[in-house]
Structure 1
Amino acid sequence: MVNLKLSYKPLKITLLMKDKTMGILKKELCLAPATIAKLNKDEYVALSVIHRVCEYLECPVQDVMEFVEDSNEAKSEL
């Protein structure tokens, strides 16, 4: 079984492409500092937050988040 983990790397790429920063995102969407920390640590945030980010950036969800294989899990199985 493949274990997956959440990644917000697409968000970071999308922000760069749209000349935005996490700080701008925080200010414009009134996001809590804890939410920004979770995004930076690839931790789960509420789907309603993801929805607001997608609307603000005018992009699909795959431009904000993705699931990737957990390399730590793969190494532990060896």
Structure 2
Amino acid sequence: MKQISYFYSAENESEINLEIWKMFMNQSEDERKIHLDFTGIVFDIQLGEVGKVDLPERVQMLIDKNGMKALPILVVNGAVYN
């Protein structure tokens, strides 16, 4: 399973980008099955608005070091990308 977390700042995030992430999150069971059959990957996506959710330590460290310009930050199976 792919665990995907996307951390963002509401002030700097585009509405379109958030809608795309929400579309992935809200896929029906049929759509998820088609994706699994085609790719062999099951995924779980979580969106996290900074300031409203608890942040993983590595994400918090990036924000502490670089400020809000570090966002957005993507975490996939524990690997952090920004």
Fold match (TM-score > 0.5): no
TM-score scaled to structure 1, two decimals?
0.31
Q: Which of the two has greater strand per residue?
A: 2
Q: Which of the two has greater helix per residue?
A: 1
